[in-house]
Amino acid sequence: MMHLVAEARSWIGTPYGHQASVKGAGCDCLGLIRGIWRSLHGDEPTVIPRYADDWSEPQGEEVLWAAARHHMTAADDGPVKPGQVLLFRMRDGAVAKHLGVISAIGSAPAFVHAYSRHGVVESPLSDPWKRRIVARFEFQKG
């Protein structure tokens, strides 16, 4: 999993770009995961449709969660591991639609994610972030 963490960290500094997925040029949180996928598996398994900032919120549909379950393996209830993909719900009652990759565990847990107005950063996995996690996934072996 450390090669996955290294790949995620290689995206740090990429500017935030809604719907983008190009290392160094721009990406959003889904674009970061898509880029990591391409580095591990080659082509993406499906074409990502265009999406607005509020996608799936009006319908209350867990579109991103369903896609993650379809293309990745759900992590067991065991400890968090480097390289796992985290799915976050940013507000109570909202759909889950933020992603990140666990980059460090132990006394200073951290994750890499693309964050609006910040770009791709490595952030501490603080208690407020931990409370927002709704699911964890692992990239399929490839």
What is the value of pTM for the model shown?
0.92
Query: Does residue 95 contact residue 62 with C-beta atoms inside 8 Å?
Result: yes
Interatomic CA distance for residues 68 and 70, integer angstroms? 5
Average pLDDT for the chain: 90
Interatomic CA distance for residues 26 and 74, integer angstroms? 27
Which of the pair, 14 or 50, is modelled with greater confidence? 14
Residue-level pLDDT at 55: 60
Asked if residue 108 has pLDDT above 60, the reply is: yes
Query: What is the CATH number that goes with domain 2-138?
Result: 3.90.1720.10
- Between 2-10 and 29-41, two packed helices, what is the crossing angle to 10 degrees? 130
pLDDT for 22-73, tens place per residue? Answer: 999 999 999 999 999 999 888 888 877 777 666 656 667 888 898 899 899 9
Residue-level pLDDT at 88: 96
Residue-level pLDDT at 53: 67
Q: Amino acid identity, residue 128? A: P
Residue-level pLDDT at 47: 79
Asked if residue 117 has pLDDT above 80, the reply is: yes
pLDDT for 59-72, tens place per residue? Answer: 678 888 988 998 99
Domain ranges of the chain: 2-138
